[in-house]
Structure 1
Amino acid sequence: MNPAVLAIVSVLAGVLVGAGGVYAFMVSERKRGHVDEPVPTIGDGAAEVLSVVGRGYVVVDSTNGVVKANPSAYAYGLIRGHSLVHEELRSIADRVRRDGVVEEAQFELPRTPLGGASIVVFVRAAALGDEFILLLADDRTEVTRTEAVRNDFVANVSHELKTPVGAISLLSEAIDDAADDEEAVRRFAKRLFIEAKRLSALVQDIIELSRLQGTNVVIKGQRVSIDAVISEAIDRNTMSAEAKSITIRAGRPLGAYVHADAEQITMGLRNLIDNAIRYSPAGTTVGVGARLVDGVVTVSVTDQGPGISPEDQERIFERFYRVDAARSRQTGGTGLGLSIVKHVFTNHGGDVTVWSHEGQGSTFTVRLPQMDESAVADENEREMP
């Protein structure tokens, strides 16, 4: 058991043993009709120790009635009124009371009576004196979620890497076997180049996503012109647009600034424009427009592609999710582009949404808070010679 927890339990045990003795004496006296005072609660000394525990705690009596608890325990949804809400917690308290042995367990519990949202808590239970049980609860919800996301990500990456790596291996063997057939060698070499390019794009997206998750925008951010970002994102997609005879049409300059990592939001918008180009028919137009409303900078990217069904719209920002896996492979998509977009703008205190109708194209919209104008003026003054 954690030494810090043992120390806390030991101190509380000393305080509460005395309380337990008084409690037993008063019960005995009450049975003989000598006193009418109510059963005592935890003394001030124990309350002071509990106040510095740094986690959710509940102290229950012999009937699992709540004697004392801190706000965290209520926030976790462990208590309602003066009772433990969950049978799992009552059971662990009963076992400790019966066996006198410290128990530890992790539970996923509903946070409200209506179900829905749940919380993952790691609970340590120990006896305090003869009458009380202490339950210490750590909120492990975010840790558990992050671990699940990481495991899922690793599994997905492994699966996605198998396809291009396997294809490269097979194509290499085919080229070797067809060494005397010049036409076959050219055909296999061309396919090999495509798979190698796809593998390179996938690895690059994985690196970018990993880098995004470790970047603190608050610290690294600076004043960034949204017009400059849009222009740079369009420039980075010019060649791919020209290859499909697609016109990228930009709206008028906005003249607004945001607090951001310029490279990150450029990458986010570049991915949106690239996605629009990939799924648009040749000879169509991709529109990029910006506007400022109530202190929020909004940038929209509109295409004339096939559109996205309502079911798919709910999942397109998930890692490796593809509306049409076969088509995505044909266009060279990695399945990470929109996930990167979501991470970029969420990290900047913004968001990304999609409007789409099958057969009518799609519009992806990102929003960012405008940088405070007084901050911009101050920075301009500092930059003057």
Structure 2
Amino acid sequence: MRDVLVICALALGSSGAVASFGLAALRILRGRSVTAHLGVLLAVTVASVVTGVVVVAEAMFLSAHDLGVVGMVLIVSGVVSLGFALVAGRRLARASVWAAEARAREQALERSRREVVAWVSHDLRTPLAGLRAMAEALEDGMVEPDGVPGYHRRIRLEADRITALVDDLFELSRINAGALRLTLDAVPLGEVVSDAVASATPVARAKGVRLVADHSSYGVVRGSEPELGRVLGNLLVNAIRHTPQEGIVTVVGGSDEGTGWVAVSDECGGIPADDLPRVFDTAFRGESARTPAAAGDPLGSGGGLGLAIARGLVEVHGGRIAVDNTPGGCQFTVRLPAAAAR
């Protein structure tokens, strides 16, 4: 019993001394990576075992041969353990980074969802209140007979506005959920631009904006024509909406090695530098767009979803969309993969 107590005391004293150094090292390494902490923990553990075994072996008067065998076993075991700790630490560090990134994405998605709900609530409240007021006026007979057609027209316009907003939300939800399935084919980008410009010309004329399109070679891209048409349509409507009367919206394009591109430029006066990274965020419209559209504006104030939908559709095609300020306005550029030559 006396020998057992002596061995326990020696092992406890030697291991405790090493453990105290380990605690000091961990305090110094506070804030470092998970790999560093695991390495220190395992090194302290191995050193404690080695020190305890060596001290007890010396006290037991082991032969030099036996002591060497024990030491060799401890060294090999320690090296293997430290290697395992480093590998495990790196994996844990990567896992912690991934977890932090996942939490950040979840928080960003939650913020985006709250913004969408707030914007949709705001944008639906105004037309619904107008519809209710006009319906009550018609129901109470407070509208002169010659004014009834005008009320009917305004009711239809507000219903169209709500329908467009609901359609945008449905499209955006499909994109974000990854439920949008495209049938990709070789699409002449010039034809898509021509159709989009033809559709937007009446709107530009009503706004008093001149729409100019370059008819040079745009190249052939791999994509889905309806979705690409919507991308160009959204960019044109956005440019027309923010260009003052007598302004010009310009569409140019071309093809580089492996890509086809189209750029829509307006005369909006430029986008504040702080807003540039957020232009494609869902429901972001900038401070100037928070106020209702002017009376008679054929485009209204927009729902803040057009650019988000455009970005989503471009990315589904494997392309890129970017915005840059230009003298007197800004330019949206879409780049898409070129169709493979047959």
Aligned to 1:120: 99
Residues 1:347 and 2:312 are matched in the alignment: no
Aligned to 1:29: 53
Pick the structure with more strand per residue. 1
Bigger Cα displacement from structure 2, 253-262 vs 226-235: 253-262
Aligned to 2:88: 69
Query: How far apart are residue 179 of structure 1 and its match?
Result: 3.1
Query: How far apart are residue 153 of structure 1 and its match?
Result: 3.1
- Residues 168-247 of structure 1 aligned to structure 2 (within 5 Å): 168-179=131-142, 181-182=144-145, 185=148, 188-214=151-177, 220-247=183-210
> How far apart, in 2, do the equivalents of 1:196 and 1:348 lie?
32
Query: How far apart are residue 268 of structure 1 and its match?
Result: 0.4
Aligned to 1:10: none
Residues 1:363 and 2:326 are matched in the alignment: no
Secondary structure of the 2:278 match is: coil
Residues 247 and 267 of structure 2 are in contact (CA less than 8 Å); yes or no, is this contact kept in structure 1? Answer: yes
Residues 179 and 185 of structure 1 are in contact (CA less than 8 Å); yes or no, is this contact kept in structure 2? Answer: no
Query: How far apart are residue 183 of structure 1 and its match?
Result: 5.8
Q: Percent identity?
A: 29
Bigger Cα displacement from structure 2, 140-149 vs 249-258: 140-149
Please list the CA deviations of residues 210-249 of structure 1 after superposition, one character each: whole Å capped at 9, or x if unmatched: 2333557896322211111111211221321233354422
Residues 251 and 264 of structure 2 are in contact (CA less than 8 Å); yes or no, is this contact kept in structure 1? Answer: yes
- Residues 277-296 of structure 1 aligned to structure 2 (within 5 Å): 277-296=240-259
Q: Structure 1 residues 70 and 141 mapped into 2: Cα distance closer, same or farther (>3 Å)? A: farther
Please list the CA deviations of residues 251-294 of structure 1 after superposition, one character each: whole Å capped at 9, or x if unmatched: 12325211212211110011111122223334443221111233
Q: Structure 1 residues 42 and 193 mapped into 2: Cα distance closer, same or farther (>3 Å)? A: farther
Number of residues paired by the alignment? 278
Residues 1:337 and 2:316 are matched in the alignment: no
> How far apart, in 2, do the equivalents of 1:139 and 1:206 lie?
24
Secondary structure of the 1:286 match is: strand
Query: How far apart are residue 308 of structure 1 and its match?
Result: 2.9
Bigger Cα displacement from structure 2, 272-281 vs 241-250: 241-250
Amino acid at match of 2:322: T
Query: How far apart are residue 187 of structure 1 and its match?
Result: 5.4
Bigger Cα displacement from structure 2, 338-347 vs 165-174: 165-174
Residues 1:302 and 2:265 are matched in the alignment: yes
Q: Structure 1 residues 41 and 228 mapped into 2: Cα distance closer, same or farther (>3 Å)? A: farther
Q: Structure 1 residues 261 and 31 mapped into 2: Cα distance closer, same or farther (>3 Å)? A: farther
> How far apart, in 1, do the equivalents of 2:47 and 2:275 lie?
62
Q: Which runs of 5+ in 1 are unaligned?
A: 1-21, 48-58, 60-65, 79-110, 112-118, 122-137, 378-385
- Which of 260, 263, 284 is the aligned partner of 2:226? 263
> How far apart, in 2, do the equivalents of 1:345 and 1:182 lie?
49
Amino acid at match of 2:279: I
Secondary structure of the 1:233 match is: helix
Amino acid at match of 1:363: Q
Q: Which runs of 5+ in 2 are unaligned?
A: 1-45, 59-69
Residues 222 and 260 of structure 1 are in contact (CA less than 8 Å); yes or no, is this contact kept in structure 2? Answer: yes
> How far apart, in 1, do the equivalents of 2:211 and 2:149 lie?
34
Amino acid at match of 1:75: R
Residues 322 and 328 of structure 1 are in contact (CA less than 8 Å); yes or no, is this contact kept in structure 2? Answer: no
* TM-score w.r.t. length of structure 1: 0.60
Residues 26 and 39 of structure 1 are in contact (CA less than 8 Å); yes or no, is this contact kept in structure 2? Answer: no
Q: With CA pairs under 8 Å and 6+ residues apart, which has the higher RCO, 1 or 2?
A: 2
> How far apart, in 1, do the equivalents of 2:102 and 2:307 lie?
31
Secondary structure of the 2:291 match is: helix
> How far apart, in 1, do the equivalents of 2:272 and 2:318 lie?
28
Query: How far apart are residue 209 of structure 1 and its match?
Result: 1.6
> How far apart, in 2, do the equivalents of 1:287 and 1:72 lie?
51
Query: How far apart are residue 320 of structure 1 and its match?
Result: 1.6
Secondary structure of the 1:69 match is: helix
- Which of 118, 126, 137 is the aligned partner of 1:163? 126
Please list the CA deviations of residues 120-164 of structure 1 after superposition, one character each: whole Å capped at 9, or x if unmatched: 35xxxxxxxxxxxxxxxx955545544554454344433432332
Between structure 1 and structure 2, the one with the greater Rg is 2
Secondary structure of the 2:216 match is: coil
Aligned to 1:326: 291
Q: Structure 1 residues 254 and 199 mapped into 2: Cα distance closer, same or farther (>3 Å)? A: same
Bigger Cα displacement from structure 2, 318-327 vs 201-210: 318-327
Q: Structure 1 residues 151 and 310 mapped into 2: Cα distance closer, same or farther (>3 Å)? A: closer
Pick the structure with more helix per residue. 2
Compute the RMSD of aligned alpha carbons: 3.7
Secondary structure of the 1:228 match is: helix
> How far apart, in 1, do the equivalents of 2:223 and 2:169 lie?
21
Q: Structure 1 residues 217 and 320 mapped into 2: Cα distance closer, same or farther (>3 Å)? A: closer
Query: How far apart are residue 166 of structure 1 and its match?
Result: 2.8
Please list the CA deviations of residues 4-47 of structure 1 after superposition, one character each: whole Å capped at 9, or x if unmatched: xxxxxxxxxxxxxxxxxx99987753441354424946989xx9
Residues 249 and 264 of structure 2 are in contact (CA less than 8 Å); yes or no, is this contact kept in structure 1? Answer: yes
Residues 217 and 348 of structure 1 are in contact (CA less than 8 Å); yes or no, is this contact kept in structure 2? Answer: no
Q: Structure 1 residues 31 and 204 mapped into 2: Cα distance closer, same or farther (>3 Å)? A: same
Residues 298 and 367 of structure 1 are in contact (CA less than 8 Å); yes or no, is this contact kept in structure 2? Answer: yes
